[in-house]
Amino acid sequence: MTPSAEWSVVVFRDPAAVFASTLDHLHVLLLDEAVMHQAYPTVVRRARKRFPGVDITVIGGPKSEEVRSAARREGVDYYVERPADPSRLRSVIEHRRKIAEVKAAAGIVGRSTQMEEIVEAILQVAPTEVPIIIEGESGTGKDIVARAIHYASRRMGNSYVAINCASLAEGVLESELFGHERGAFTGAVAQRSGVFERADKGTIFLDEVGEMSANMQVRLLRVLESGEIIRVGGMKSFRVDVRVVAATNRSLSAAVREGRFRQDLYYRLKGVSLYLPPLRERKDDIPILCDHFLRESVRKHGKDVRGIDKDGLAKLVAYPWPGNVRELRNVIDTAVVLAPEGRITSGLVDSQLGGGPSSEETLLPVPLHRTKDEAEREMIYGSILAMHRDVRELLSLVRQAERIKPLETMKEVFPEGSASAPEVQPLSSLERTAIRDALGATGGNRRKAANLLGISERTLYRKIKEFGLL
């Protein structure tokens, strides 16, 4: 989604008008506290359901920070004291419109003080050309902040290209970043543009930049200093105009001190540093994110789940979220799938957070008394063991085939008509005989027979059915 010119700002003075509105593209909703009096918190809650992604700003009298925090928890994005000069109010409204535009375009969800500060920083630095490093734990949404920077910049009409530096081997990363010429390496059957070319006049997001090898750090530094790239296997350099936004889940300054990251590259990347706090430090955002992910999952899975019960939501807010927003999204998505029609219960939340067995365990044919990570590890270990058995079986078959001389060779050793020529039996006949003998030797115990033959029990069962040895 990219920002459009049709961003709506509406002032509602009558509470009933909020719910009668048919606006589909409302982005900033202003509520006048003086007119709505004590009813405005109720209006805010109902308006939040009517317009989930809208920026709700309340105009009123002086309020303490405690009251403002409570208002944020109820759904208010911003509380502005009524200024004496109307032009001041217009500038506030315009600023809220810009914030709503960036948040909606990039998919930023949250109304905590920390998220407000991050969006304010984005609006301040994005229109410039200063390089930016986004720091924060894995799963906090650094990619979304990078996208917001692009949308709020003067490059928003051009390409935005993201690449994860930790997920690619050095040679592959070099080709992905700078492109390659035909014949540069085995498999390079055609010339290919890299992300620096594809993002020309736009923005490149380098995720997990701290995982780059020393050689790749040197190449990246040269490109950032000269503004020129050379494709892998090429001789000609050419200029590109890109804005680089980098991200890391660890301290690059510490990596510099330890000699694991080049200091000159660090200062090239770090014009401005934005810190994205972990979810456990912005708990006010958890209910908002839960509601957002719930609606997202309900649409995706076609489930009739209308919310999370009070105790379940309290447990979600209290949980430390080591996997941050990414973990929360997965928990809500799984809970929507497992929930009976209606609401996500406290017991189901417990089962997803590793809080012990619950009545919902019967919904899946797998035990939920283990934590989610333990269940995933067990599944992975099982898959690895199955693969190991299959590979061992293939190796056994290959070795068995190598021990049998080809028919042509046997014809040379024993010419046709020779009295010494042995009778050659089909391989399937030999397999059938071997399996029958193994079953006889083990008294029909398939597991022992499989071990004796050096194959998996599953393969043995398939062969028994194939040869009619049941």
In a domain, 324, yes or no: yes
What is the domain range of residue 463?
Answer: 375-416+424-467
Residue closest to 133 by CA, chosen among 255, 266, 225, 323 = 266
Q: At what angle do helices 214-226 and 170-178 cross, to 10 degrees?
A: 10
- Would you put residue 3 in left (φ > 0), alpha (ψ -120 to 50) or beta? beta
pLDDT of 252 above 50: yes
The answer as to whether 100 is a domain residue is yes
> How far is the CA of 286 from the CAs of 88, 239, 334, in angstroms?
33, 44, 17
For residue range 333-351, list pLDDT tens digits in order.
999 999 887 889 999 999 8
**397, burial (CB in 10 Å: exposed 0-12, middle 13-18, buried 19+):** middle
Q: Are residues 19 and 161 in the same domain?
A: no
Taking the CA atoms of the chain, what radius of gyration do you get in angstroms? Answer: 32
Cα 156 from Cα 146, distance rounded (Å): 12
Give the residue from 251, 277, 303 where a domain finishes: 277
Q: In this structure, are residues 274 and 252 in contact, taking their beta carbons and an 8 Å threshold?
A: no
Looking only at Cα atoms, what is the longest distance across the chain?
A: 117
Residues 225 and 97 in one domain: no
Q: How far apart are CA 371 and CA 368, in angstroms?
A: 7
Domain-located, residue 37: yes
Q: At which of 277, 311, 328 does a domain end?
A: 277
Q: Rounded to the nearest 5 degrees, what angle is found at the Cα of 258, between the Cα atoms of 255 and 263?
A: 60
**17 in a domain, yes or no?**
yes
pLDDT at 181: 86
> Which residues partner with 343 through β-bridges?
307
Identity of residue 197? E
Residues 142 and 193 grouped into a single domain: yes
Q: Name the percent of the chain lying above pLDDT 90.
A: 38
The answer as to whether 361 is a domain residue is: no
CATH label of the domain that carries residue 214: 3.40.50.300
CATH code for the domain in which residue 60 is found: 3.40.50.2300
Classified as helix, coil or strand, 64 is coil
Distance between CA atoms of 302 and 304, rounded to whole angstroms?
Answer: 7
CB 55 within 8 A of CB 96: yes
- For 322, the 3-state DSSP assignment is coil
Sign of the CA dihedral 449, 452, 453, 454? positive
Q: How confident is residue 402, by pLDDT bands cut at 50, 70 and 90?
A: low
Output phi, psi for 194, to 5 deg: -95, 180
- pLDDT of residue 18 exceeding 50, the answer is yes
**SS3 label, residue 121:** helix
Q: Are residues 133 and 200 in the same domain?
A: yes
- The pLDDT of residue 1 is above 50: no
In this structure, how many other beta carbons lie within 10 angstroms of the beta carbon of residue 333?
16
Question: Phi and psi of 180, rounded to 5°?
Answer: -150, 160
Residue 107 in this model has a pLDDT that exceeds 70: yes
The phi-psi region of residue 228 (left if phi > 0; otherwise alpha if psi is between -120 and 50; otherwise beta) is beta
Task: Read off the pLDDT of residues 156-198 as tens digits, 9 standing for 90 and up.
Answer: 999 999 999 988 888 889 888 998 888 877 777 788 888 999 9
Most confident residue range from 72-86, 243-257, 408-422: 243-257
Residue 3, domain member (yes or no):
no
* DSSP-derived 3-state class of residue 30: strand
What are 32's two structure tokens?
């006048």
Average pLDDT rounded to a whole number, residues 413-424: 48
Lowest mean pLDDT segment, chosen from 19-28, 72-81, 171-180, 364-373: 364-373
Q: Are residues 128 and 257 in the same domain?
A: yes
* Per-residue pLDDT tens over the stretch 38-76: 666 777 777 777 777 788 888 877 777 777 777 777 778
> Same domain, yes or no, for 251 and 147?
yes
Q: Identify the domain boundary among 247, 277, 307.
A: 277
Please tell me the predicted confidence (pLDDT) of residue 427: 66
How does the average pLDDT of the chain come out, rounded? Answer: 79
CA 100 – CA 334 distance, rounded (Å): 29
Is residue 355, in this structure, part of any structural domain at all? no
DSSP type of residue 405? P
